[in-house]
Structures are given as structure tokens and as C-alpha cells.
Amino acid sequence: MTAKYELVKKAIRIRDNAYVPYSNFPVGAVLKAKSGKLYTGCNIENAAYPVSCCAERVAIFKAIAEGEKEFTEMAVAADTDRPVPPCGSCRQVMSEFFTADMKIHLTNLKEDTKTVTMEELLPFSFQPSDLNKET
Ligand SMILES: O=c1ccn([C@H]2C[C@H](O)[C@@H](CO)O2)c(=O)[nH]1
Ligand SMILES: [Zn+2]
């Protein structure tokens, strides 16, 4: 099995840990760091709905909290007709930590997989460097 499908299958499996009493829409994510370590994420909802966190951000925040700085690949899975498209907030968080050519594998339970780069997922994104305006 290729590395891509290992990530995809793991992203599908980690949905089992999602805490989704409000949406009943479990999402799983797996993030691979340059170190080779894998960081999993699932969506975690809250009775105060907006406090909920998506699977993608849980995986990214876990990795950052463990000291990871560079990433090579990510997979995201949900029970959608098409490969699941990450929400706008997650795309912005991804763009903070992922290079423009980083590959993100989006999938559904049939393993219809669409691989996109960070640049394709969020073109013309607001970057840390945009804060450094010369005066
Ligand atoms: O890419 C996505 C899309 C949605 N969700 C979550 C947010 C919410 O918990 C539920 C329904 O939107 O799915 C994710 O975790 N990732
Ligand atoms: Zn999201």
C-alpha cells in the first residue's frame, strides 16, 4: 500500500473518535510531520456550537504543541459524496504552517481521493509575511 493510502485509511478510522453529538458528522485527519511522526485529529464539538474544532485543526495543533515545525502530507476524511473540502478556517490555519506545495489528500468513505496542494486549497492567502509592511 502506498503512503498516501495508509494516511487515507487512518483518517477514515480516526473518525471513530470524533465527538459529534450535534452534527453527527465525524471527520478524521492525519498529519505527517517531516520527523516521520503522524498526528491524528477528529472534530470535537461543544454545546456552545462555535467553540467546536474541526479535525484538521486538532491534528495541526497537536503537532505544533509537540514541537513539530515542518510537514509533508495530510489526509482528511468524511462521509461525503465528493472528497471532503476543508472549511475556510482550517484552510487559513493550514496556510500558516504548510508550504505552498504541501500535498493534502481529501477523501470520502469510498476512498475517492482528491490530492490538492496548499496553494490550490487557498490561493492568495494572508501570510505572516503580509504583516511586515515597510514604512
Ligand atoms: O473539513 C471539515 C468539515 C467539517 N468539519 C466538522 C465541523 C463540524 O464539527 C462538523 C459539521 O460541519 O464537521 C471538520 O472537522 N472538517
Ligand atoms: Zn475546518
The Cα–Cα gap between 112 and 110 comes to 5
Tell me the pLDDT band of 1, cut-offs 50, 70 and 90.
low
Kindly report, residue by residue over 44-98, the tens digit of the pLDDT: 999 999 999 999 999 999 999 999 999 999 999 999 999 999 999 999 999 999 9
Q: Ligand 1, residues 12, 15, 23: which to mutate, most atoms within 8 A of Cβ?
A: 23
Amino acid sitting at position 34: K
Kindly report, residue by residue over 100-121, the tens digit of the pLDDT: 999 999 999 999 999 999 999 9
Which H or E run contains 64?
helix 55-65
The Cα–Cα gap between 44 and 125 comes to 26
| Mean model confidence pLDDT for the chain | 97
DSSP state of 109: T
Q: Ligand 1, residues 43, 81, 90, 92: which to mutate, most atoms within 8 A of Cβ?
A: 43
pLDDT at 135: 67
- The CATH H-level superfamily of 3-131 is Cytidine Deaminase, domain 2 (3.40.140.10)
% of residues, the chain, pLDDT over 70: 99
Distances (CA, A) of 53 to 13, 18, 69, 86, 93: 18, 10, 21, 12, 12
% of residues, the chain, pLDDT over 90: 96
Domain map (residue ranges) of the chain = 3-131
Distances (CA, A) of 30 to 5, 118, 130, 132: 11, 15, 29, 32
Residues 26-52, mean pLDDT to the nearest whole number: 98
